[in-house]
Chains A and B, each alone.
Chain A
């Protein structure tokens, strides 16, 4: 069974065994507006919890994408590089950003549940 958690930087993370899939939340895409550019980490590179692991740009501004956990990048989603508007369309399913081989599963513990994140998103955007 997979586990989905959320970060304060508005990323979601789905863990299946050792494999973590990471993307940005629907709430994040609503704040950003139309996304026109996405940059992803290099396959094979190592990323550290809370470090920069990509960039998204809307017509107005650029925003960093952070990784909520540490690990090795095992896959990236070329679809969102080719067509960044897919991130607005389906942010929490097909428009994932990258997959990691997670280094330390305990890093998941500090992240928020769906309910906690929804509350957090509501409070911070008010």
Chain B
């Protein structure tokens, strides 16, 4: 299979991107400024992220769609208002996570944003569980651009007036150059921000106009450090087929009203919800400057292995190494002393609260 390029590929090259293959796409890992500067610019101003490799799945048709989707996803879709979004999961029968995703109710159905590496499989799984009466469209004619940071609303409002009235986890239709765009207020950085679904042919001029208004392109490298500081999970690292949402410490994303109902994986999820879990995702802060990356083994003070790190880096805004991982639940309390095995040495660390960086998500007006 040949490597795919997004509609912004020429722009990435123009702005000096270092390109890498990610989930079958040629994507920018960083631009000229480098990961730390890009990270900090997103926190202080605003950053533009090409996330066009992610899946945009539109599902429509039939009066029972909401009911039938609730048999797949553990979200309260009946209560969802048009243009409202929820974070949810596609699970397997063992309660493991096949993908984490955002479901938005649209005027004629639902839009589900899927992870790039999972999207084709998700499409097949969802299609196989739904009646033929529904129309599923994994729309590859659309780009997806994220704009994140405290100035995101000011920048976007200059290009697409009116979008600053959107509330967090809500979306709406807007017009850009006489074409319909769909914008949600959401993101993956711990900052206020937006995701804009736009036709490929308009994506480049749209991004150039964001740049003209003071924003900068940000690569996947800084996207990763930003999401880690915000305590957000990366599918494939922090979430996988053998981990339930409860184990992943994402209980908040499962509405209580759905616990007693049936959906894919509901039996295990209900059991985990009511009886507790053996392992739990936690935040980890090393005492020293040593960085513990994914797959680093975690030990207790008796030198017994109690878990492993799933993501770890240096946090440019918190100016300290940060990590998250899974530990035996009896060690998950904040301030528990643990040890990380890095290059043969046991590095002391503490279990800590997530996020590492305090969020700036805004429900109404914003204080910058």
Contacts and interface: CB of A to CB of B under 8 A. Distances in A.
The size bracket of the interface on A is 10 to 19
A15 B321 CA distance: 35
Of listed A36, A57, A59, residue having the most chain B CB within 10 A:
A59
Interface in A53-89: 55, 57-62, 81
A33 interface: yes
Contacts of B221: 33, 59-60
Contact of A33 (B34, B289, B290, B293): B34
A59 B343 contact: no
B34 A36 contact: no
Chain B contact residues: helix, strand, loop or mixed: mixed
B293 A59 contact: no
Contacts of B313: 59-60
Interface in B204-250: 221, 224-225
B291 interface: yes
B355 interface: no
A92 interface: no
B46 interface: no
A37 B35 contact: no
B36 A59 contact: yes
Contact of B225 (A37, A39, A59, A61): A59
A42 interface: no
Interface string B23-49: 000000110001111010000000000
A20 B127 CA distance: 65
A77 to B, nearest CB: 15
B155 to A, nearest CB: 25
B290 A59 contact: no
Given A34-B35, A34-B36, A62 B316 contact: no
Contacts of A55: 343
Of listed A36, A37, A58, A81, residue having the most chain B CB within 10 A:
A36
Of listed B29, B224, B314, B343, residue having the most chain A CB within 10 A:
B314
B36 A37 contact: no
Nearest to A85: B36
Contacts of B34: 33-34
B133 to A, nearest CB: 46
Contacts of B290: 37, 39
Contacts of A37: 289-291, 314, 321
Nearest to B345: A39
A59 B343 CA distance: 17
Interface in B10-29: 29
Contacts of B224: 59-60
Contacts of A81: 289
Contacts of A39: 290, 343
Nearest to B36: A34
Contact of A60 (B35, B39, B316): B35
Interface in A1-45: 33-34, 36-37, 39
A119 to B, nearest CB: 22
A57 B290 CA distance: 9
Contacts of B36: 34, 36, 59
Contacts of B35: 33-34, 58-60
A57 B293 CA distance: 10
Interface string B275-305: 0000000000000011101000000000000
B289 A59 contact: no
Contacts of A58: 35
A25 B5 CA distance: 33
Interface string B245-262: 000000000000000000
A28 to B, nearest CB: 15
A13 B277 CA distance: 54
Interface of A: 33-34, 36-37, 39, 55, 57-62, 81
5 contacts: A36-B314, A59-B39, A59-B224, A59-B316, A60-B29
Among all A-B residue pairs, the 9 with the closest Cβ atoms? A36-B314, A34-B36, A59-B35, A34-B34, A57-B291, A34-B35, A37-B291, A37-B289, A59-B225
Given A36-B36, A62-B293, 8 more contacts: A33-B35, A34-B37, A37-B291, A39-B290, A58-B35, A59-B314, A59-B316, A61-B293
